[in-house]
Structure 1
Amino acid sequence: MSPPPPVRQDHIQLGRQLDIFTTDPLVGAGLPLWLPAGAAVRYELEQFILELERRAGYEHVVTPAVAKQELYARSGHWEYYAQDMFPPMETGEAGERLVLRPVNCPHHILVYRHADRSYRDLPLRLAELGDMYRMERSGVVSGLSRVRAMTLNDGHVFCRPAQVGEEVAAILDLVDASYDRLGLVVSEVRLSTRDEASDKWAGDSEQWRSSEAALRAVLGARDGAWTETPGDAAFYGPKVDIDVADVHGRAFTLSTVQVDLWMPDRFDLRYVDEEGARQRPVMVHRSILSTAERLMAFLLERTQGRFPYWLAPEQVHLLPVSDTHAQAAREVAASLRCAGVRSEVVPASRSLGSRVRRAADRMVPVTAVLGDREVEAGQVSVRLRGSRDAVSVTLPALQGALEGAGRDRLQMPVL
């Protein structure tokens, strides 16, 4: 008889086991508290996507997570999206009401229009790890996968109409690059269009036809199958949705690209062309890796907590055999931390065997033991996650291997 399949834990169980996040009724449903371990993983993911975006020509901005209600009235969100927004806050000023933003795009529009733009400035690629808030009902929020407070890997490209196809293709290439590094597999690509029988769409028919045609042309020129799903578009424009499957085979959208001709009209965005005439730019909305919360939930379940070395919240556990080796372990840990390695000394208050098992339970990639022999030889005895064999290495050799694994984003160090 074959053994039963391994039990797959959900991200809430794994998050508790690895101290990734917690919740508290004093904060409220759907408002997770990121613990140090979770914040460490999140920071690495943020640096990863910021680096990819910089290489792709994006400029990063920081905008506030609150604005006047009239901003969202102008963008159309108050009309089409108000049911998902928190109620306005009265400021006491005459008629002024502030709203927690549910999206970042109106803020990036204001960044675009703060200066006069020429055709030479386009495409202008803006990106932000933007905090957003959505009024999910308390009965549907769950762990990190459905929350009220989230940070979106957001970006907007302002370009000339002739540049739309090239910019959308470049965004999809960026998605491919990030998925390749993170080991993500696309389950489905969908072109989400409007349902012409419904009145929930903003803009005129010609804007929709033009935007949908641009996305069809890009998808048609790329390898891979895609489907079209009428009725799933954003209220202001069609989009490409890229789905991945969780450990239970359920698909959900992780990345999206949207072509928008409507909001540039609403905000009267302009650029000056070669002839000196004022023209309307196209706005392309995109998210490469969704929100930090949704991505973490997915990665926890996909890896079952066995993060690659560069993402592991605790990369190295240093285990002194006894209290007499504690100072040596602290010195090694300090040296590794200076090199950017997340290392922790686990004191000899429990047996060595129990501390090794604890490291295994927390899925720590590298466990290093220091006893008399190691201290005298200026070495550490290292065991990598998943291996029963230990190898003795010098501190410089260990530090070099760990720095290389982190820099190159390897699954495990090479000793």
Structure 2
Amino acid sequence: MRYTIILLLGMVLFGCSEKKEEQPKETYVPKTELLSQLKNSIAGDAITISFSTDTPKETYKLQIKNAYGSVLLNATETETDNIKFAVPKNFTRIAGPFNWKLLLDGNILDEGTHHIATNAPKATYVESYFGPRSVTAGRNDFSMLTISPTDAYDNPLDDGTEVTIKYQFLENIDELQISTESFIAWYNVASTLKSGRILVTSECNGTTSKELATIVYPANAVNFSISSSSAHNFADGNQIVTFTSDIIKDEYGNTVTNGTLVTFVIKNEKDQYLYTIGTTINGVAEAKTLHPDKAALWEIQAFVTGAAESNTTKFEFKSAIKDYAVHFSKGNRNIDIGPFESFMKQLIPDGLLLQLDIYNAEGEFIDTKKTTSKNGVCNIFLGEHFLEEGDYILKLTAAGITKEFTKNIHGNTVK
């Protein structure tokens, strides 16, 4: 048994010694040579890359790669010892470099770079942008004109391409030459001293852009003058007083824009304020307000907020109502006031305010009642539910005239 095991081991060792060592497989690389010596072309031109090879029947691939992507091409033509690849149009129309690699079974056999120039002679297109579309007069503001000239395939033209700019204002037309830099050309069109409209256009390689415009608006208003007027100066609470500015302009003599808001502030002799507003039309602002219902002295000043102010003008109102009658009845609970007569003995318009202040016999304030006139008279009734019987001080005020009465308020029968 031992002899048999030794024999088997000997046979195994003899068989292993007779096995040949496996040799590495050699990869055959065909010989190729670039035949296309043209490394530059113009956008839109057809591009063919060809090679000579000793094995044209192999499955060669050509990888094309530019800034927009890559594609893997098959040979379009194989001859006895040549292979050709046609570059697609979407690659030949894009200006700039693209890289190529000749591949076989994943191995790179050859590689290179091809440069495509813009095709300005075929056609030039001009894209232009202008803004902002409104500026302020005074040379401190401007609108920027930006021009981007491209070829027929939307490739930006080379830096240094000459662009002509023209801009017009009133009777003046200016022209200048600038060059593209980083694919664009730009120019700042300064605002003018006068308000109006500036028109601009640009031209490149005989192609002109569309007309663009910016509006030069007046600058901030400067100080101005105002006046006041009315049909009369009686404080009747009915007539209208009108405040009018002169033509408001900016520092360059331009009439301010229509719709400029002007605030007219009114101060009376008691340092109380009210205001009215107006907007400019052809530079003139106008505002109106009612006459007061009692004598007053007004001081009026106008403002363009944050920009300008006017002079201060005065308007004095005379009292239109000199006196009025007061009649008590029904236990002094019913009070008839009037008639109120204006400066020509005419009845005043409806709406005159009358105020009754009620005090007790010791002069302590109790309550206030208000009403307005109708058909020239006013009426106040002090009902039992409102005021108990007793002695009271009654103060009536209307049209700036105050009358004081001490009355005993009792039942509704007339004493």
Higher strand share: 2
Q: TM exceeds 0.5?
A: no
TM-score, length-scaled by structure 1: 0.21
Structure of greater Rg: 2
Higher helix share: 1
